[in-house]
Amino acid sequence: MNESGPNNLRLLPAVDAVLHQPAVEILIAEEGRDVVLGWAREELERLRCCLLDGENPGNRAAVLDELSDRLTERAERSDRLRIGSVINATGVILHTGLGRAPLSRAAIAALADIAGAGNVEVDLDTGERRYRGHQLQSAWYTLTGCEDSLVVNNNAAATLLSLQALCAGREVVISRGQLIEIGGSFRLPDIFQLSGARLREVGTTNRTRLSDYEQAIGPETAAIMHVHPSNYRVVGFSNSPGIGELAELAHARGLPAIDDIGSGSLVDLTQYGLPWEPTFQDSLSHGADLVLGSGDKLLGGPQAGILLGRRELIDTVRRHPLARAVRVGKLTLGALSATLDSYLRGTAEQDIPTISRLATSIDDLSRRAETIENEIGSTDALSIVVRPDQAPVGGGSLPGADLPTVVLALTHESCSAERLSRRLRTGTIRVFGRIHHDEVLLDLRSVRPEEDSRIALAVRLAAEHEFDETV
């Protein structure tokens, strides 16, 4: 140990002296005294070890300044770990890591409206208690023609609940090519096992015939299930019967047909130059008895699992004990109700960000990119190029489907694309782009128009930041 080490300990201030530094007092107001006190004690202990190792910080004032800087850095790191708003400039409209579908303004307003007391489980006409989501049934019927509906916390829960309530202890016939795995290692066979329903696979990975289903039906069969592969595509020598054929077979044998359409769309996406995706109303019109889908993908609402279909099936599922474990709260119901209202008004393309982003023209994106470039202005260290590109829709929906887009390609003369990208992600305005060939690309396909000026400001701040590549 350096002989001067113990003497240096005299430079350590008392914790109260640290807490009364002007910068630290600001942190206390923002973070809370107990939090900052804990940080201060940890940093004092780290500094104590450094002093014992012989480091010489100079004097007490220098030590206090260093501790203030360390606590400020701790607060900045803590802020980056908090959940909060991010501008999605990846181009991926449904980005799972960034929360998938952004809510409409009406849905956001509905969250505030329902934050207090609300008619979550009561009928205002009769004053009697009712099930959660009864307020949405009229909208679901108008939009899809379903007899009844149920909303749970996500589509995985909808699948598990349906299988357990309707099929536990019996067989469900499904094509081997539809035994999907989605993000987070969610595998359909595992859900079957958990539900108590027995999986009866038919056909092969790429080809399943109607006769395969027909031959598999027996006394132990509870249902026929069809699953849309919303996060992958089987191409080439492949074939599988659709829900219409399966529903006809199921009904001929006195069985229900369950259709998991995945992304939960209510609109025909081919009008935007995208591949066809099943909709709730299509599935029901083709005879499906129970249709499952997500609320936070192509529907454009909050995270939810949607169950639509025959009244007796929905009622059986609703009464199952597991339904309470996976039910949604009032915030989800409020946001979902406002989202459905946009579809009822015929204004989904204008109101719902997911649909709006899919429908935005390349000319509009180009004009916005030029405006952002002008707002950023000239910078000595930063180079900006506006150019066309391709944006994947993503988020477990429309696999392999890209849309034309416009990006701002950024390069900085004194730092790498990785460091510039991190600076944008962790700045006061957090912008999440993507890196390609040593450039940071800010893709406007996934950006709301009202966020454009904030992107310009974030880029200016990042360009003015002093980068030290040796760190």
Instruction: Per residue of the chain (471 residues), give pLDDT as tens.
Output: 344 556 667 778 889 999 999 999 999 998 999 999 999 999 898 888 888 877 766 788 888 888 898 998 888 888 777 888 999 999 999 998 999 999 999 999 999 999 999 999 999 999 999 999 999 999 999 999 999 999 999 999 999 999 999 999 999 999 988 887 766 567 888 999 999 999 999 998 788 999 999 999 999 999 999 998 755 566 655 678 899 999 999 999 999 999 999 989 999 999 998 888 999 999 999 999 999 999 999 999 999 999 999 999 999 999 999 999 999 999 999 999 999 999 999 999 999 999 999 999 999 999 999 999 999 998 888 999 999 999 887 755 666 678 999 999 999 998 999 999 999 998 889 999 999 999 999 999 999 999 999 999 999 999 887 655 443
- Taking alpha carbons only, the member of 358, 421, 439 closest to residue 393 is 358
Domain ranges of the chain: 5-81, 87-97+358-464, 105-348
- Taking alpha carbons only, the member of 202, 245, 250 closest to residue 223 is 250
Our CA angle for 359, 363, 369, nearest 5°, is 105
- Domain 105-348 listed as CATH 3.90.1150.10: no
Euclidean distance between CA atoms 96 and 102, whole angstroms = 11
3-state class of 350 per DSSP?
helix
* Pairing status of strand 221-227 against strand 171-175: parallel
CB-count exposure of residue 98 (10 Å: 0-12, 13-18, 19+): middle
CB atoms closer than 10 angstroms to residue 121? 16
Euclidean distance between CA atoms 238 and 205, whole angstroms = 8
- Domain 87-97+358-464 listed as CATH 3.40.50.1000: no
- How many CA atoms lie within 13 Å of 431's alpha carbon, on the beta-carbon side? 31
3-state class of 255 per DSSP?
coil
- Structure token pair of residue 266: 């209510």
CB atoms closer than 10 angstroms to residue 274? 17
**In what helix (H) or strand (E) does residue 51 lie, and over which residues does it extend?**
helix 33-52
Helix axes of 60-81 and 33-52: crossing angle, nearest 10 degrees? 130
CB atoms closer than 10 angstroms to residue 122? 13
Residue 467 has what pLDDT? 54
This prediction has a pTM of 0.86
Distance of CA 175 to the CA centre of its chain: 29
